[in-house]
Amino acid sequence: MAWELESRLAQISRAGLQRRRRTLSSAQGPRIRVDGREYLSFCSNDYLGLAAHPALTEAACQAARVAGVGAGASHLVLGHHELHEQLEQRFAALTNFPRALLFSTGYMANLGVITALLSRHDAIFADRLNHASLNDAALLSRADLQRFRHADAAHLDELLGRSSAQRKLVVTDGVFSMDGDMAPLTDMLAVCERHDALLFVDDAHGFGVLGEGGRGILQHFGLKSDRLIYLATLGKAMGSFGALVAGSESLIEYLLQKAHTYIYTTALPPMLAQASLTAFELMADDRLRQHLQQLIRQLRNDLEGLPWQLMSSVTPIQPLLVGDAVAAVELADALRESGIMVPAIRPPTVPTGSARLRISLSAAHTADDVAALAQALAHLARGR
C-alpha cells in the first residue's frame, strides 16, 4: 500500500513524537478535571484567567438570548452583526489604529492577511521560530520565503538588502509561542523603514499580557507607524475566540475585499464578540498583570538549581528546556502522576534537541500553585 500509514505512525511513535489528546471535563483554569481526576494545570494560554470568568459567561449568554448562537452567514452576506462591528471599533481604538477586521481564528487571520497581500513576485521575511500559521500562510501566498535567524534584526537587514522584490513583508510573532521571548520590534521597524518593507506582528501571546492596560507589544515598545500591521488573537489572554487585525484604513478595506479566510467563511458567533468586548473591559485592570509578573518572578526564583534550565522569558510562557523528546515526555508524565499537568513540546513544533516543558502561568494561579510545581520538579530532580 503506497500510503503506509501504519508504518509512518509507528515511526512517529518510535521517535517519541506521537501526539495524544486528553479530554477535559471541566472549564479551563488552574484546576481542571481530566479523565476523572483533578489536576493543577500549567497548560493553557488563558493568561488572565478569563476563559471561565463569570462576566464572560454571562456576556455570552445574554448576547445569545438576543442574537442567537450562530451568525448564520458570512460577514459579506449579512452575517456581520453590530457586536462584530463594535468589537472591531473597540479594538482599533485600544490599539491606536485607524481600523480593524475580525477573523474567526488567528490561524485564518494569518492565512488571510498574507495571501491577500502577497503573490508570486513578492517576498516575505520570517523569523525562524514563527508560528506554523505564519509559515503556512507564506507558502500558500507563493511569495519568495526567506527566514532570518531568530530575533536577529541584523540578519533581517542583510536579507532585505539583498532582495530585489517590489513588495516586502516582514512577519514575526510578537511573543514567541514556544519560547516566551519577544521580537526586537524597535530594531526591526527601523530595518523595515530602511528597506521600505511592511512589518506584520502576530501578537497572539502579547495582547492582554504586555503594555499598559494589556494593549499589547506595540504599546510595550511604544511603537506607532503606518508600516505596522497588528494581529491579536482572542482565544488566549482574552479567554474568548477569534482574532483581530488592525492597520490603516486602506489595508483593512483591502483585506475585506480580498482575504479569502475572511470572505468565504461563516462569521464568528456574535455572542463571542460580546464575550470579547467584556474581556477588553476586564483586561484593563493592571493588577492582573502585576500578579502575573509576581508569579513569573517566583517561578524563576523557585526553579533555580534544577537540572533543567528555564529559558530566558519575561512573559507567562516559561519553557523548561529538557532537550531530548522522550525525556521531556517522561518528565511531563511524572508530573502528571503527581497531579500536575504541564505540556511537553517536541519537534516539529520546536527544533530537534530542544524539547521542553511549556509552563504557562495565568493570573488565576496562586503563589501556592507555583510553589507546588516547583516542589514537584525538585522532587523529580532528586529521584533522577
Q: Shortest gap between Cβ of 204 and ligand PLP (angstroms)?
A: 4
Q: Shortest gap between Cβ of 270 and ligand PLP (angstroms)?
A: 17
Query: Dihedrals φ, ψ of 345, to 5°?
Result: -110, 125
202 is an interface residue for ligand PLP by CB under 6 A: yes
Q: Stretches 69-77, 199-207, 210-218, 264-272: which one binds ligand PLP (CB under 6 A)?
A: 199-207
Q: Stretches 19-27, 197-205, 244-252, 364-372: which one binds ligand PLP (CB under 6 A)?
A: 197-205
344 is an interface residue for ligand PLP by CB under 6 A: no
- Residue whose C-alpha is closest to residue 291's, from 371, 213, 365: 365
- Residue whose C-alpha is closest to residue 323's, from 335, 309, 313, 334: 309
- Residue whose C-alpha is closest to residue 246's, from 216, 208, 289: 216
Q: Shortest gap between Cβ of 106 and ligand PLP (angstroms)?
A: 2
- Residue whose C-alpha is closest to residue 349's, from 108, 42, 135: 135
| Alpha carbons 197 and 190: distance in angstroms, whole number | 10
| Active-site residue (options: 104, 141, 177, 360) | 177
315 is an interface residue for ligand PLP by CB under 6 A: no
Q: Which is nearer to ligand PLP, 173 or 369 (CB)?
A: 173
Q: Which is nearer to ligand PLP, 245 or 251 (CB)?
A: 245
Among 214, 216, 235, 239, contact with ligand PLP (rule: CB under 6 A):
235
Restricted to residues 176-195, the positions that interact with ligand PLP (CB under 6 A) are 177
| Active-site residue (options: 236, 276, 354, 362) | 236
| Alpha carbons 167 and 195: distance in angstroms, whole number | 10
243 is an interface residue for ligand PLP by CB under 6 A: yes
User: Mask: binding to ligand PLP, 85-114, rule CB under 6 A, as x and -?
Assistant: --------------------xxx--x----
HSE of 317, CA atoms in CB hemisphere, 13 A: 21
233 is an interface residue for ligand PLP by CB under 6 A: yes
| Alpha carbons 190 and 283: distance in angstroms, whole number | 30
- DSSP 3-state assignment of 288? helix
| Active-site residue (options: 81, 205, 220, 291) | 205
Q: Which is nearer to ligand PLP, 111 or 373 (CB)?
A: 111
Tell me whether residue 224 is one of the annotated catalytic residues.
no
Q: Shortest gap between Cβ of 58 and ligand PLP (angstroms)?
A: 23
Q: Shortest gap between Cβ of 379 and ligand PLP (angstroms)?
A: 31
Q: Which is nearer to ligand PLP, 130 or 278 (CB)?
A: 130
Q: Which amino acid is at 320?
A: L
Q: Which is nearer to ligand PLP, 107 or 125 (CB)?
A: 107
The residues, ordered by sequence, that sit 6+ positions from 375 with a Cβ below 8 Å of its Cβ are: none
Q: Shortest gap between Cβ of 103 and ligand PLP (angstroms)?
A: 8
Q: Stretches 14-22, 186-194, 200-208, 344-352: which one binds ligand PLP (CB under 6 A)?
A: 200-208
Query: Dihedrals φ, ψ of 150, to 5°?
Result: -55, 125
Tell me whether residue 177 is one of the annotated catalytic residues.
yes
- Residue whose C-alpha is closest to residue 270's, from 232, 240, 245: 240
Tell me whether residue 53 is one of the annotated catalytic residues.
no
Helices 325-337, 367-382: inter-axial angle, 10-degree rounding: 120
To which residue does cell 487571520 refer? 109
Contact 328, 353 (CB under 8 A): no
- Residue whose C-alpha is closest to residue 280's, from 91, 59, 97: 91
CB atoms within 10 A of CB 161: 10
What is the H or E stretch that residue 193 is in? helix 185-194
80 is an interface residue for ligand PLP by CB under 6 A: no
Q: Which is nearer to ligand PLP, 182 or 303 (CB)?
A: 182
Contact 146, 126 (CB under 8 A): yes
Q: Which amino acid is at 165?
A: A
Q: Shortest gap between Cβ of 113 and ligand PLP (angstroms)?
A: 11
Q: Which stretches of the chain bind ligand PLP, using CB under 6 A?
A: 105-107, 110, 131, 133, 173, 177, 202, 204-205, 233, 235, 243
Active site (catalytic) residues: 177, 205, 236
